[in-house]
Amino acid sequence: MKRILPLLMLAALVCTSAFLAVQTVMAQDTITKLAPAAFGKLTRPPAVFNHDKHNEKAKLEECVVCHHGGADGKQDKTASTEGTPCSDCHKVKPAGKATSLQRAYHKQCIACHRAKGKGPLACGQCHVR
Amino acid sequence: MNAAYEFVTGPLAWAAWGIFLLGSGWRLYSMRQLAMKKDASSWAFMDLGFSLRSIVNWLIPFNALGWRKNPVMTVTTFAFHICLIAVPVFLVAHVVLWTEFFGVSYATLPDNVADIMTLVVLAACLVFAGRRLGQKEVAYITTGKDWLALVIVTLPFLTGFLAYHQVFDYQVMIIAHIVAGEIMLAAIPFTRLSHMVFAAFTRAYMGSEFGGVRHARDW
């Protein structure tokens, strides 16, 4: 009995940290809609985007296709930034010619759908009521 | 469905705008040629001051005698025309498309305000239709052309309202809405809707004739 308690505690610790690790890696699989806080109150229904299912169906293996990097007005298409919200770099009301947050989402999502001839193009296909 | 959407927002949109702009230019040009040939004396009387005086006076609700005679129609007409122009020009969804295709963006109406203004347009269309059916002196001079213009204007607003609220099949409705809008644009120069292009010149002509020839007001 004396040896079992520490063993149980160790097991619990391992499980918790493994769970937490999986949580951080797998957080994207819980995304089904996009409603970034940066917009405040949304004027449209949140866009449907089932992160993992979408990328599986669209056969997108490279995370950097969407999670690019960059700074000082220059996009870096090689630096992967998955986990960093778009709103960290794209402001709702940006200064100068920088891509606004709404424009960033629209451009990225719609440009690819247009190029592939598949995926939603019209407002209500993404902003589903 | 993507191919259909791409077609109506691409080639068909260019065609509609092309027909609207070139058609309007051509109608104005041929009207000018006709006026110079058939009514050269009035043409000589065209006067910028009298023209603007008439246009401005008719733009003020209840200012012109014609407006005071029929208050219901005056209110309906002003509300209708303001919403008819403001909604499509300043709608969020339309400005998002200008941004998507050409990178331009400008002021917009809040969605709920545009929604109400759309209902105002639809209600006005009903009033116009009721008048053509129920008022004898209007029914008497109503022709198929008047109904055609009314239907062409009603459809983009009706389908737009249904698409925005995602009533019925959205994908079908949004394409129907875009096509209805394009039909309206292309129809402007060639139907009763051409008064959009001619109204200012009609008023200018009347204003100049009354001001310069009869020395009277035309409002």
Residue A6 lies in a domain: no
What chain A residue is nearest to B109 in terms of C-alpha separation? A43
Query: What pLDDT sits at residue A13?
Result: 57
Query: What pLDDT sits at residue A23?
Result: 44
Q: Kindly compute the dihedral angle of the four CA atoms of residues A45, A114, B102, B99, in this order, to the nearest 10 degrees.
A: 10
| Of B61 and B131, the one with more pLDDT | B131
Q: Which three-class secondary structure state does DSSP give residue B63? A: coil
Residue A8 lies in a domain: no
Nearest of B3, B15, B8, B53 to residue B207 by alpha carbon: B53
Query: What pLDDT sits at residue A5?
Result: 62
Q: Are A119 and A58 in contact (CB under 8 A)?
A: yes
Please report residues of B whose CB lies closer than 8 A to that of A107. 100
Q: How far apart are CA B173 and CA B162, in angstroms?
A: 7
First vs last Cα of chain B: how many Å apart?
52
Domain holding A64: CATH number?
Answer: 3.90.10.10
Nearest of B78, B70, B190 to residue B131 by alpha carbon: B70
Question: Which pLDDT tens digit goes with each residue over A8-53?
Answer: 665 665 555 555 444 444 578 888 999 999 999 999 999 999 999 9
Q: Are B87 and B110 in contact (CB under 8 A)?
A: no
Query: What pLDDT sits at residue A12?
Result: 62
Q: Enter the DSSP assignment of A99.
A: P
Interface residue A60 vs chain B (CB under 8 A): no
Contact (CB<8Å) B93/A128? no
Residue B158 parent element (H or E):
helix B144-164
Query: What pLDDT sits at residue A24?
Result: 47
Q: How far apart are CA A101 and CA A82, in angstroms?
A: 16
Q: How far apart are CA B15 and CA B30, in angstroms?
A: 21
ipTM of the complex in this document: 0.82
Range in A16-25, B25-34, B60-69, B165-174 with the lowest mean pLDDT? A16-25
Query: What pLDDT sits at residue B118?
Result: 98
Residue A53 lies in a domain: yes
Nearest of B29, B171, B20 to residue B88 by alpha carbon: B20
Contact (CB<8Å) B6/A114? yes
Contact (CB<8Å) B174/A118? no
Interface residue B39 vs chain A (CB under 8 A): no
Query: What pLDDT sits at residue A11?
Result: 61
Residue A54 lies in a domain: yes
pLDDT surpassing 80 at residue B58: yes
Block residue for tokens 């050409």: B102
Domain count, chain A: 1
Q: Are A31 and A83 in contact (CB under 8 A)?
A: no
Contact (CB<8Å) A122/B6? no
Burial B7-28 (b: 16+ CB within 10 A, else e): ebbeebbeebeebbeebbeebe
Average per-residue pLDDT in chain B? 93
Q: Are B39 and B196 in contact (CB under 8 A)?
A: no
Q: Are B219 and B64 in contact (CB under 8 A)?
A: yes
Give me the mean pLDDT over the B111-128 stretch: 97
Question: Which pLDDT tens digit goes with each residue over B145-167?
Answer: 999 999 999 999 999 999 999 99
Query: What pLDDT sits at residue A95?
Result: 87
Please report residues of A whose CB lies closer than 8 A to that of B171. 122, 125
The identity of residue B34, as a single letter, is L
Domain boundary assignment for chain B: 1-35+145-219, 66-142
Give me the mean pLDDT over the B81-99 stretch: 97
Please report residues of B whose CB lies closer than 8 A to that of A124. 163-164, 166, 170, 174
Interface residue A125 vs chain B (CB under 8 A): yes
Q: How far apart are CA B78 and CA B80, in angstroms?
A: 5
Query: Using a CB cutoff of 8 Å and minimum separation of 24, what contacts does A25-30 make?
Result: A27/A83, A28/A52, A28/A82
Please report residues of B whose CB lies closer than 8 A to that of A104. none
Q: Which two three-digit tokens encode residue B157?
A: 């607003």
Contact (CB<8Å) B174/A103? no
B211 half-sphere exposure, CB direction, 13 A CA radius: 19
Give me the mean pLDDT over the B71-100 stretch: 95
Mutation target among A44, A100, A125, A126 for the B interface, most CBs of B within 10 A: A125
Residue A15 lies in a domain: no
Residues spanned by the domain of A94: 30-126
Say what the pTM is.
0.90
Q: Are B76 and B126 in contact (CB under 8 A)?
A: no
Please report residues of A whose CB lies closer than 8 A to that of B96. 106, 123
Q: How far apart are CA B161 and CA A124, in angstroms?
A: 12
Range in B40-44, B139-143, B192-196, B206-210 with the lowest mean pLDDT? B40-44
